[in-house]
């Protein structure tokens, strides 16, 4: 799902980073957001809605709509569309409101 050839843009991907999604090992690149790295790996369902538990993906990519909130390193409600990926990050699908520990 990554673009390798583009008529206008060159994508200088940073260092390869390792993270986990629901315990599964994944790779992404430095300089990209958690949501972008997950998309590149084909993961589109990021959370479940509060009441009806419907699947949620990302919608706005500017940190405004709350559709992409996930649990990152144990913290819930992280807006993954504007959160940069870091080495060793633990990313999990969020069900409902999430608990602040």
Partner 1 sequence: MRELELLIIGSGPAGLCAAISAASSGAKVLILERSFQPGGQLIKQTHMFFGSERQYASHRGVDIADILLRRAAEFGDRIELMLNATAVGFYEDNVVTVLKDEKEYFKIKAKSIICATGAFEKSLAFPNNDLPGIYGAGAVQTLMNVYGVRPGNRVLMVGAGNIGVIVSYQLMQAGIQVAAVLDAAPRIGAYLVHASKLARMGVPILCSHTIKEAIGTDCLEAAVVCRVDQRFRPIPGTERRFDVDVMCVSVGLSPLNELLAMRGAAMRYVPQLSGTVPLRTVDCETSIPGIYVAGDASGIEEASSAMAEGYLAGLCAAAGLGHVPEDYGARRQEYLGQLEDLRSGPVGDRIRAGMKLSAL
Pick from 19, 21, 26, 58: which binds partner 1 (CB under 8 A)?
58
Pick from 30, 49, 50, 96: which binds partner 1 (CB under 8 A)?
49
Chain-centre distance for alpha carbon 46: 7
- Per DSSP, 33 falls in state B
- Is the distance from CB of 40 to CB of 26 less than 8 angstroms? no
Give the closest residue to 28 by CA, choosing from 68, 83, 87.
87
For residues 8-47, which are near partner 1 according to CB under 8 A? Answer: 8-9, 11, 13, 32-33, 36, 39-40, 44-46
Say if residue 2 is exposed, middle or buried (CB neighbours under 10 Å; 0-12, 13-18, 19+): exposed
Tell me the number of residues near partner 1 by CB under 8 A: 37
**CA-derived radius of gyration, the chain:** 14
Q: What's the min distance (Å) between Cβ of 25 and partner 1?
A: 19
Pick from 19, 26, 56, 94: which binds partner 1 (CB under 8 A)?
56
Binding site for partner 1 (CB under 8 A): 1-3, 5-9, 11, 13, 32-33, 36, 39-40, 44-46, 49, 54-65, 67, 75, 78, 81-82, 84
């Amino acid at each position: 799902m990554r673009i390798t050839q583009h008529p206008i843009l060159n994508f200088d991907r940073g260092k390869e980073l390792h993270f986990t999604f629901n315990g599964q090992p994944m790779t992404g690149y430095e300089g990209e957001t958690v949501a972008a790295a997950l998309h590149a790996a084909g993961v589109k369902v990021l959370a479940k809605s509060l009441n009806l538990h419907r699947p949620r993906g990302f919608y706005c990519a500017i940190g405004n709509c709350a559709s992409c909130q996930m649990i990152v390193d144990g913290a819930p409600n992280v807006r993954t569309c504007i959160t940069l990926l870091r080495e060793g990050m633990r990313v999990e699908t969020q069900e409902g409101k999430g608990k602040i520990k």
